[in-house]
Amino acid sequence: MALPRLLHHLPAEQLGTVAADKTHSGHAIIEQVHADLKASALANLPSGKFTANAAWLVLAVIAFNLTHAAATLTAATELAKATTATV
C-alpha cells in the first residue's frame, strides 16, 4: 500500500483553489505565531540545557495562548490582533 501524499506537497492544481487557499492560510497563521514567539519569550532562551529550554518553551506557549485568548475576549478589536509584546 502506497503512502498518501501530504497536502502541503501537492501542487495547487491537484488541491483545487479553495483547498489550496486554506492550506496557504494555515501556513500564514503559524508563521505569525512563530514570529510573535521569537520576538518575545524565545528571543533569549535561558540556558544551554535542553530541559530548561523545553520548560521555557512550554511556559512561553502557555503565556502566548492566555494573552491571545484574553485579548480576543475583550471588546477592543485592536487587541485581538495585537502581538504579545504589545498586549
Where residue 51 falls (left for φ over 0; alpha for ψ -120 to 50; beta otherwise) is alpha
Rounded to a whole number, what is the distance in angstroms from the first to the last CA of the chain? 50
Position 25 confidence tier, pLDDT thresholds 50, 70, 90: low
User: Could you tell me if residue 38 is inside a domain?
Assistant: no
Identify residue 51 by its one-letter amino acid code: T
Domains: count for the chain: 1
User: Could you tell me if residue 71 is inside a domain?
Assistant: yes
Segments forming the whole domain that contains residue 80: 49-87
Report pLDDT digits (tens) over 40-75.
Answer: 888 888 788 999 999 999 999 998 888 888 888 887
User: Could you tell me if residue 84 is inside a domain?
Assistant: yes
Give the other-Cβ count within 10 Å of 41's Cβ: 19
User: Could you tell me if residue 60 is inside a domain?
Assistant: yes
Separation CA 79–CA 87 (nearest Å): 7
User: Could you tell me if residue 54 is inside a domain?
Assistant: yes
The answer to pTM > 0.75 is no
Separation CA 35–CA 24 (nearest Å): 17
User: Could you tell me if residue 68 is inside a domain?
Assistant: yes
